[in-house]
Amino acid sequence: MKKVRSYTSIWSVEKVLYAINDLQLPFPITFTQMTWFIVSLFAVMLLGDLPPLSFIDGAFLKYVGIPAGLTWFMSQKTFDNKKPMGFLRSVINYAITPKLTYAGKPVKSQKEKQTAAVTYVWRYHNEISN
- For 39-91, how does the pLDDT look when each residue is reduced to its tens digit (9 = 90+)? 999 999 998 888 888 888 888 999 999 999 988 888 876 667 777 777 888 88
Find out whether 69 and 43 touch, Cβ atoms under 8 Å.
Answer: no
Distance, in Å, from the CA atom of 27 to the CA atom of 128, rounded to the nearest integer, reads 78
Distance, in Å, from the CA atom of 86 to the CA atom of 15, rounded to the nearest integer, reads 19
Distance, in Å, from the CA atom of 46 to the CA atom of 31, rounded to the nearest integer, reads 22
Name beta bridge partners: 82: 79
pTM of the model: 0.57
